């Protein structure tokens, strides 16, 4: 490592506890931070000293700057924002970023900081950034994983499609399992413990947790708290936790610091005494104080959210027992079908009823809501409206009139430019606006504390505000049924009381609600209409021999597809091209076919991937035929040339493993480390970006603003809205990941080491040589023609 660490880096495997002097003393003096574009500072002239080994719970109303203070303690304020910063923050006398990894940070959203496809590689990210020799990494990774008690279940690894990469076998104590354990297979709680392990791998002296359990169910939250308690004790760490649900943390900390709305410290002391003396003030600011009774839902005038058609009082929706199965296919066409969600009883939702879907994360609550909303067609069972129509068959207007949706990601349903319009938009699309609509919408916003923001851009709101807005926007046009995915997450006592009060008013006006929730108070409100879902068992992955192409290096795969370009360009006509295509097909079949897949499945999968290429080839042939004097031979030349160029890509490229691509780009081609890491991280999220696109499209459909082919202008607007929505989510995840990565030493990682070596194998050489064959034959044809 080039930049000399300010303190000798401890030997791997040794615990901080054994250090003679305690470290982790934090001193904040006169800290002021005003992000550009805000009139008043988020933090103003803040002083705070935290002794080494102290455990602090940091609380305050939303908007008080708790998360901002955590980022300041990590030295990451300016990582994802720009603003005016003054004052000092030191950790053991130096700036927090001086020794990379001296501060560990765990963010609220599980997965926001995941950088790699496998658990072991993800934990190794910090050590890679500080240039730790590869030989020392497995020990460090194993000890960090053991500290958070993260080990794969039996089967989780065997079922993964991730190829066991060389060099992982040494991960001590895990039998190499963590090396092939995909991060995508982790539950929310496991993902948060993974983030904790990632922080521990750099042996921090200060651990910062930003609402680490806010998005988890009770069981997962408990597993995270237990892991935190254990590692903080074992390693003698200084701990600062931000949480708005204080109860479960009180026993884990010894000091409570309270911030007010202006970002100033208003109370500070031993946790129990401070809770006792400040309880009233905390309750008044909306903090969930342990032991306090549940807040009373506020009274809301039912006229604000009465459903439009009150004539019918019978069921709003009727679903039989449902099963939703998902089929995934490997690159060589082997299908695996697994049950994603199932209900064990019919679900008949009557007017005015509240039904709660409960169960651990991963039990398919959101999937069932999607099936009820008609976003997907259940594999078995039916979902029908009161009039017997299948929900999935409704047109956008019919769907919006009947069903509304409050999604888990409320930012993705935003379709309007102001908060007020956001509330009105569905009613407008359905022609339900009248003279009193705007007054009613403003009253609704007032109930939710959003009144002053009526003309603000909804995308600028905080997460909690957006969620409340989503509730208002779902109820305003008076649908018969609202499907709400975790509508109360992240709300303080006041806003919780408003949301729950509003839902109650909607019910008293005849509206029906189905909600997926972990919120114990909401579950109580549902009474005996609670439907418990259990996680369906994981399906075993395909067994048996893999195709020859599996496990080939990404560079070889890219090179193999590249070699098709000269073959296509050089081929002197359609007859030689047909010969070359024949060679390519033989190679493709021998690379794709295996014992597990047979012959038909991989060829069918290949043909599916080739459809766009075939269309392109036909269109090139068509245009050539048109202007080439309608000469069939010329058209044939164009057609076969495009196929020659495209076929090998369709065979080879889907086999690329994005993590290994990063390894090879950096270690084999010696491209700059930081961009390479960023490219793999982005490619790693490809799939989730595809899902976001779908989610935004669904949200627009159910809000009644979907495009129709009858008005082409709406199509353009629709595509533009989807693109901007996707880009916004991409930008947000990039900003979150930047914070998570810099907390693990990425900011200064100019010379990284790599957990996995990038080996070029004989198989790779053979692949490239065989891929060159058609190009060589093409050259021979050219010489013969001459």
Partner 1 sequence: MPRSIRATAPLMAWRTIDILTITFLGAAFGIAYWGWGLAYQAPSTALTTIFPPLAGITGAPWLIAGVVGGLIVRRPGAALLCEVVAALVSMIPGTQWGFTTLISGILQGLGAELAFAILGYGAYGLAAAMFAGAMSAPLEAVYEWFVYWTDWGWSYKIAYLVILTAAGAVIAGGLGWVITRALAAAGALGAFPPGQEAREARAV
- Based on the shown chain and the rule CB under 8 A, indicate whether residue 568 belongs to the binding site for partner 1: yes
How far apart are CB 686 and partner 1 at their closest, in Å? 6
Residue among 359, 591, 638, 774 that touches partner 1 (CB under 8 A): 638
DSSP H or E run through 315: strand 315-319
Q: What is the DSSP string of 336-362?
A: EEEEEEE-SS-EEEETT-EEEEE-STT
Residue among 245, 348, 392, 679 that touches partner 1 (CB under 8 A): 679
C-beta closer to partner 1: residue 313 or 462: 462
Residue 26 φ/ψ region, left for φ over 0, alpha for ψ in the -120 to 50 degree band, beta for the rest:
beta
Residue among 247, 452, 675, 757 that touches partner 1 (CB under 8 A): 675
79: nearest Cα among 747, 776, 770, 779 = 747
Q: d(Cα 110, Cα 195) in Å, to the nearest integer?
A: 8
Residue among 728, 770, 773, 776 that touches partner 1 (CB under 8 A): 728
Q: Is 589 exposed, middle or buried (0-12, 13-18, 19+ CB in 10 A)?
A: middle
How far apart are CB 690 and partner 1 at their closest, in Å? 6
C-beta closer to partner 1: residue 311 or 670: 670
Task: Restricting to residues 408-447, name those near partner 1 by CB under 8 A.
Answer: none
C-beta closer to partner 1: residue 195 or 447: 195
Q: d(Cα 322, Cα 364) in Å, to the nearest integer?
A: 11
- Based on the shown chain and the rule CB under 8 A, indicate whether residue 565 belongs to the binding site for partner 1: yes
Segment interacting with partner 1 (CB under 8 A) among 172-180, 363-371, 433-441, 725-733 = 725-733
C-beta closer to partner 1: residue 564 or 593: 564
C-beta closer to partner 1: residue 292 or 679: 679
- Strand 265-270 with 255-259, pairing: antiparallel
Q: Scanning the structure block, which residue is given the tokens 């066991």?
A: 164
C-beta closer to partner 1: residue 569 or 782: 569
Task: Restricting to residues 591-630, name those near partner 1 by CB under 8 A.
Answer: 609-610, 612-613, 615-617, 619-620, 622-624, 626-628
Cβ atoms 182, 117 nearer than 8 A: yes
Q: d(Cα 189, Cα 144) in Å, to the nearest integer?
A: 16
- Based on the shown chain and the rule CB under 8 A, indicate whether residue 779 belongs to the binding site for partner 1: no
Task: Restricting to residues 471-530, name those near partner 1 by CB under 8 A.
Answer: none
Q: d(Cα 726, Cα 565) in Å, to the nearest integer?
A: 33
C-beta closer to partner 1: residue 80 or 252: 80
C-beta closer to partner 1: residue 610 or 776: 610
How far apart are CB 656 and partner 1 at their closest, in Å? 6
Segment interacting with partner 1 (CB under 8 A) among 137-145, 177-185, 368-376, 678-686 = 678-686
Q: d(Cα 125, Cα 144) in Å, to the nearest integer?
A: 12
Cβ atoms 127, 136 nearer than 8 A: yes
For partner 1 (CB under 8 A), the number of binding residues is: 78
507: nearest Cα among 522, 494, 496 = 522
How far apart are CB 732 and partner 1 at their closest, in Å? 7
| x-marked contacts with partner 1 along 256-295 as a string, rule CB under 8 A | ----------------------------------------
First-last CA distance in the chain: 59
Task: Restricting to residues 196-235, name those near partner 1 by CB under 8 A.
Answer: none
> 112-145: string of b/e by CB count within 10 Å (b at 16+)?
bbbbbbbbbbbbbbbbbbbbbebeebbbbbbbbb
Residue among 225, 494, 596, 641 that touches partner 1 (CB under 8 A): 641
Task: Restricting to residues 446-465, name those near partner 1 by CB under 8 A.
Answer: 457, 459-460
How far apart are CB 735 and partner 1 at their closest, in Å? 6
Q: d(Cα 524, Cα 358) in Å, to the nearest integer?
A: 12
Cβ atoms 127, 230 nearer than 8 A: no
Residue 57 φ/ψ region, left for φ over 0, alpha for ψ in the -120 to 50 degree band, beta for the rest:
beta
How far apart are CB 588 and partner 1 at their closest, in Å? 13
- Based on the shown chain and the rule CB under 8 A, indicate whether residue 534 belongs to the binding site for partner 1: no
Residue among 264, 730, 773, 777 that touches partner 1 (CB under 8 A): 730
Segment interacting with partner 1 (CB under 8 A) among 169-177, 279-287, 483-491, 640-648 = 640-648
C-beta closer to partner 1: residue 287 or 666: 666
Tokens, residue 461: 């709101």
Task: Restricting to residues 73-102, name those near partner 1 by CB under 8 A.
Answer: 79-82
C-beta closer to partner 1: residue 335 or 615: 615
- Based on the shown chain and the rule CB under 8 A, indicate whether residue 329 belongs to the binding site for partner 1: no
Q: d(Cα 73, Cα 240) in Å, to the nearest integer?
A: 9
For residue 740, how far is the Cα from the chain centroid? 14
> 439-476: string of b/e by CB count within 10 Å (b at 16+)?
ebbbebbebbebeebbeeebeebeebbbbbbbbbbbbb
- Based on the shown chain and the rule CB under 8 A, indicate whether residue 313 belongs to the binding site for partner 1: no
Q: d(Cα 320, Cα 347) in Å, to the nearest integer?
A: 6
Residue among 8, 37, 293, 537 that touches partner 1 (CB under 8 A): 37
- Based on the shown chain and the rule CB under 8 A, indicate whether residue 40 belongs to the binding site for partner 1: no
Distant-in-sequence, close-in-space partners of 253: CB < 8 Å, separation ≥ 6: 55, 56, 57, 239, 241, 271
| x-marked contacts with partner 1 along 540-559 as a string, rule CB under 8 A | ------------------x-
Segment interacting with partner 1 (CB under 8 A) among 211-219, 268-276, 333-341, 677-685 = 677-685
C-beta closer to partner 1: residue 193 or 468: 468
C-beta closer to partner 1: residue 244 or 685: 685
Q: Is 105 exposed, middle or buried (0-12, 13-18, 19+ CB in 10 A)?
A: buried
C-beta closer to partner 1: residue 106 or 676: 676
Segment interacting with partner 1 (CB under 8 A) among 9-17, 34-42, 163-171, 772-780 = 34-42
Residues belonging to the chain: 786
Q: d(Cα 501, Cα 299) in Å, to the nearest integer?
A: 6
Residue among 29, 724, 769, 780 that touches partner 1 (CB under 8 A): 724
Task: Restricting to residues 172-191, name those near partner 1 by CB under 8 A.
Answer: none
- Based on the shown chain and the rule CB under 8 A, indicate whether residue 734 belongs to the binding site for partner 1: yes
What SS3 class is residue 56? strand
How far apart are CB 581 and partner 1 at their closest, in Å? 14
- Based on the shown chain and the rule CB under 8 A, indicate whether residue 656 belongs to the binding site for partner 1: yes
Residue among 309, 327, 723, 761 that touches partner 1 (CB under 8 A): 723
How far apart are CB 740 and partner 1 at their closest, in Å? 10
CA angle 754, 760, 761 (to 5 degrees): 130
Distant-in-sequence, close-in-space partners of 143: CB < 8 Å, separation ≥ 6: 12, 13
Segment interacting with partner 1 (CB under 8 A) among 356-364, 435-443, 485-493, 652-660 = 652-660
Task: Restricting to residues 735-754, name those near partner 1 by CB under 8 A.
Answer: 735, 737-738, 741-742, 746-747
């Amino acid at each position: 490592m080039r930049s000399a660490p300010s303190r000798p880096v401890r030997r791997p495997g040794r615990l901080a506890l054994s250090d003679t002097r305690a470290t982790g003393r934090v001193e904040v003096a006169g800290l002021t931070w005003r992000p550009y574009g805000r009139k008043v500072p988020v933090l103003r002239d803040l002083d705070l000293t935290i002794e080494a080994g102290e455990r602090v719970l940091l609380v305050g109303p939303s908007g008080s700057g708790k998360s901002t203070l955590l980022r300041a303690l990590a030295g990451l304020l300016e990582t994802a924002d720009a603003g005016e910063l003054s004052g000092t923050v030191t950790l053991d006398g130096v700036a927090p970023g001086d020794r990379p990894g001296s501060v560990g940070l765990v963010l609220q959203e599980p997965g926001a900081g995941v950088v790699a496809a496998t658990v072991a590689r993800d934990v190794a990210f910090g050590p890679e950034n500080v240039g730790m020799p590869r030989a020392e990494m497995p020990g460090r990774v194993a000890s960090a994983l053991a500290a958070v008690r993260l080990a794969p279940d039996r089967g989780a690894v065997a079922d993964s499609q991730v190829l066991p990469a060389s060099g992982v076998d040494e991960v001590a104590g895990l039998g190499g399992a963590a090396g092939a354990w995909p991060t995508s297979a982790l539950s929310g709680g496991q993902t948060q413990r993974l983030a904790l392990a990632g922080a521990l791998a750099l042996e921090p002296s200060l651990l910062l947790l930003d609402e680490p359990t806010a998005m988890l169910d009770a069981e997962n939250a408990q597993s995270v708290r237990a892991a935190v308690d254990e590692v903080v004790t074992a390693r003698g760490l200084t701990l600062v936790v931000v949480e708005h649900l204080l109860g479960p943390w009180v026993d884990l900390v010894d000091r409570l610091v309270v911030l007010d709305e202006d970002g100033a410290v208003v109370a500070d002391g031993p946790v129990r005494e401070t809770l006792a003396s400040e309880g009233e003030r905390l309750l008044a600011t909306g903090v969930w104080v342990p032991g306090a009774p549940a807040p009373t839902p506020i009274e809301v005038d039912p006229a604000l959210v009465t459903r439009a058609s009150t004539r019918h009082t019978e069921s709003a929706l009727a679903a039989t027992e449902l099963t939703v199965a998902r089929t995934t296919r490997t690159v060589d066409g082997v299908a695996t079908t697994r049950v994603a969600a199932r209900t064990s009883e019919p679900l008949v939702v009557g007017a005015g009823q509240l039904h709660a879907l409960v169960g651990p994360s991963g039990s398919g609550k959101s999937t069932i809501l999607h099936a009820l909303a008609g976003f997907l067609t259940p594999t078995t069972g039916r979902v029908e409206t009161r009039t017997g129509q299948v929900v999935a068959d409704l047109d956008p207007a019919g769907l919006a009139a009947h069903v509304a949706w409050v999604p888990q990601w409320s930012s993705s349903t935003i379709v309007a430019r102001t908060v007020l319009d956001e509330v009105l938009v569905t009613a407008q699309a359905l022609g339900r606006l009248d003279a009193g609509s705007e007054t009613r919408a403003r009253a609704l916003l007032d109930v939710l504390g959003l009144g002053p923001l009526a003309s603000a851009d909804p995308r600028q709101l905080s997460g909690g505000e957006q969620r409340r807005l989503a509730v208002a926007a779902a109820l305003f046009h008076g649908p018969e049924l609202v499907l709400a995915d975790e509508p109360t997450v992240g709300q303080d006592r006041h806003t919780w009381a408003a949301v729950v009060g509003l839902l109650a008013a909607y019910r008293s006006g005849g509206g029906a609600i189905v909600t997926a929730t972990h919120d114990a108070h909401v579950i109580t409100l549902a009474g005996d209409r609670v439907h418990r879902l259990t996680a369906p068992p994981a399906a075993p992955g395909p067994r048996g021999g893999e195709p020859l192409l599996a496990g080939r290096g990404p560079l070889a795969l890219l090179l193999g597809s590249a070699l098709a370009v000269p073959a296509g360009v050089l081929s002197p006509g359609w007859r030689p091209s047909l010969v070359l295509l024949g060679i390519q097909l033989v190679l493709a079949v021998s690379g794709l076919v295996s014992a597990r897949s047979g012959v038909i499945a991989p060829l069918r999968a290949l043909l599916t991937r080739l459809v766009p290429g075939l269309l392109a080839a036909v269109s090139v042939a068509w245009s050539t035929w048109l202007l080439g004097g309608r000469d069939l031979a010329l058209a044939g030349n164009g057609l076969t040339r495009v196929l020659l160029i495209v076929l090998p890509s369709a065979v080879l490229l889907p086999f690329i493993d994005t993590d290994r691509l990063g390894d090879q780009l950096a270690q084999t081609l010696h491209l700059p480390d930081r961009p390479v890491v960023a490219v793999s991280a982005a490619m790693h999220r490809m799939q989730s970006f595809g899902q976001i696109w779908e989610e935004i499209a669904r949200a627009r459909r159910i809000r009644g603003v979907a495009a129709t082919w009858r008005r082409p202008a709406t199509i353009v607007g629709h595509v533009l809205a989807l693109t901007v929505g996707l880009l916004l989510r991409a930008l947000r995840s990039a900003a979150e990941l930047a914070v998570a990565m810099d907390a693990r030493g990425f900011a200064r990682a100019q010379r990284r080491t790599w957990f996995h070596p990038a080996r070029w194998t004989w198989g790779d050489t053979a692949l490239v040589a065989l891929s060159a064959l058609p190009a060589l034959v093409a050259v021979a044809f050219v010489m013969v023609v001459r």
